[in-house]
Structure 1
């Protein structure tokens, strides 16, 4: 029992339930700008969750998830303008195409570890950004893609014109994907990925095909990032090469580190912290134009004062017992 007289599991779930209730009721009490900001935080949280599957669960720090996010965003924009405005169709096509792009790039990346893997994923992200800039016949170059129609969640439903309705759509998709990732975290596959993170050579010694496992989770993380990109298109109704750039990848990795590596709720907490620090605190009169600087300072403070992240779920390192 906790000091408040509640079971420990219930006490841990109360903050999450309170946050979820607040996000759900936000369109009824807050203005369009704040509601739109909450929707963007949910999208960034999904991107951070895809990073967490690689960084927190598998031990592969990545700066390349913005590439698959951009693929999903551009795919959803093209489908919406040329094929259909049904959101579920855009989501499925964007996720599948992102996973398909992640397959050959991941086949190359998962052969490396540590800093080499990080640099390879950074290169993949830069290639995606360059493609978005130069493939003008498909992406419209640096001008981006505009004129995207409002999303229709399911066939037969009306188009979502209001920010509050779009927010409910994004929240519903977020909860479904979050539940899917949570179920994945409780499977033997996730346990094998944790084993690869902790001691890959030992996992290979007992017969696990570690490269196949890492490639599988890499493609799954790419699909999740692509779905987040499709939601981004539904919220923004505009896509530009910056949506596949380094800044977004760095923000997602930063959200994972600040929120707590290995925690999916930590990914959301970190995404909210990063977004609000950069776009809200950074726009105050005394800090105008210094959002990135403030974010960097707060990141250093968080690393030293909260080594387990905001959720405090990072596993401590094992210590050797002293000899008697």
Structure 2
């Protein structure tokens, strides 16, 4: 008799959720705030992984949709209502709309051309945020964002963390369901061999466009969480540095796994915000060293250290 498979990954995922939910009960406010930033950046990295690891579209402009969502949520919170989760839903819609407006052009290219086009899109959006001062605050950013309110009361540090965690889990669940669906299997097939997919009768460009919009929407959702947590949005939040750090998190964590980039994002935040200030400005150097070590020692990133019994990420495309 064959023993049923042990779903180690599900147990580890459940344990991680329990740990994250209980974390504010044991952490100091500063540590809780740092963990909140990790969740925000992790959702951005996971949304980018839908493009990079699942669809095979490396992007250097994904922070544009993150920043658009952050600005939309911050403006809406200041001028309309701070009651959650309305601002983050506005951010999601803004990210999706911007991704749809730019993605129909971007998905017509591939490889280095796609990479450079997304970089150009990101820089254009960042420049727009810099110059559209009446709405974005220009180089000073959009500051004075009110605290998010639930049931009429502003959230404290722990309450904000649980709010961010709930939205993060919802966004991550959407990405996971898309990745594990037949649509996600088709995206993996496009990543591995797009000409073959076209020969099988798949219209690959609409698939890539939908994936682009979904990724942009979830990035916008993460931007809405940034506005709620940081209560300040600046052009730097949608610039090249943020996009590069998100791509670095995907590579360190392991492209194509969704959960791996979340670990990579946590490492990036720890180095940038916790360890970096104590290194006399040499935090980026440490990140570079970590990146080199991962490339040589873990070519598939943290996701390469998968639990026993799990298939490699690229085997998922064989379901097609």
Same fold (TM over 0.5): yes
- 1:240 maps to which residue? 234
Do the aligned partners of 2:276 and 2:283 also contact (CA within 8 Å) in 1?
yes
Return the match for 2:89 from 78, 87, 92: 92
Return the match for 1:295 from 279, 283, 287: 287
Return the match for 1:226 from 198, 213, 220: 220
TM-score where L is the length of structure 1: 0.90
Do the aligned partners of 1:278 and 1:294 also contact (CA within 8 Å) in 2?
no
Do the aligned partners of 1:151 and 1:159 also contact (CA within 8 Å) in 2?
yes
Do the aligned partners of 1:308 and 1:315 also contact (CA within 8 Å) in 2?
no
Residue correspondence of structure 1 range 1-324 to structure 2 within 5 A? 8-10=6-8, 12-153=9-150, 156-160=151-155, 162-284=156-278, 287-312=279-304, 315=313
Aligned equivalents of 1:211, 1:316: Cα separation in 2: 21
The Cα shift of 1:7 comes to 6.0
The Cα shift of 1:103 comes to 1.3
Q: What do residues 91-150 of structure 1 show as CA deviations (whole Å, max 9, x unaligned)?
A: 222111211111121111111111110011111111111011110011010111111111
Aligned equivalents of 1:168, 1:315: Cα separation in 2: 30
Q: How many residues align?
A: 307
Alpha-carbon spacing, 1:187–1:16, altered in 2? closer, same or farther (3 Å): closer
Aligned equivalents of 2:112, 2:130: Cα separation in 1: 27
The Cα shift of 1:34 comes to 0.9
When structure 1 is superposed on structure 2, of 306-315 and 76-85 the one drifting more is: 306-315
Aligned equivalents of 1:83, 1:262: Cα separation in 2: 38
Aligned equivalents of 1:262, 1:157: Cα separation in 2: 40
- 1:322 maps to which residue? none
Aligned equivalents of 1:272, 1:98: Cα separation in 2: 23
The alignment partner of 1:299 has SS state of: helix
Aligned equivalents of 1:207, 1:128: Cα separation in 2: 36
List gaps (5 residues or longer) in structure 1: 1-5, 318-324
Do the aligned partners of 2:70 and 2:226 also contact (CA within 8 Å) in 1?
yes
The Cα shift of 1:316 comes to 6.6
Q: What do residues 29-88 of structure 1 show as CA deviations (whole Å, max 9, x unaligned)?
A: 211111111011101011001110100000000011110011000000110011111222
Instruction: Tell me how large the CA RMSD over aligned residues is.
Output: 1.8
List gaps (5 residues or longer) in structure 2: 307-311, 316-320
The Cα shift of 1:15 comes to 3.6
The alignment partner of 1:148 has SS state of: coil
Alpha-carbon spacing, 1:212–1:298, altered in 2? closer, same or farther (3 Å): same
Q: What do residues 188-212 of structure 1 show as CA deviations (whole Å, max 9, x unaligned)?
A: 1111111110111111112111111
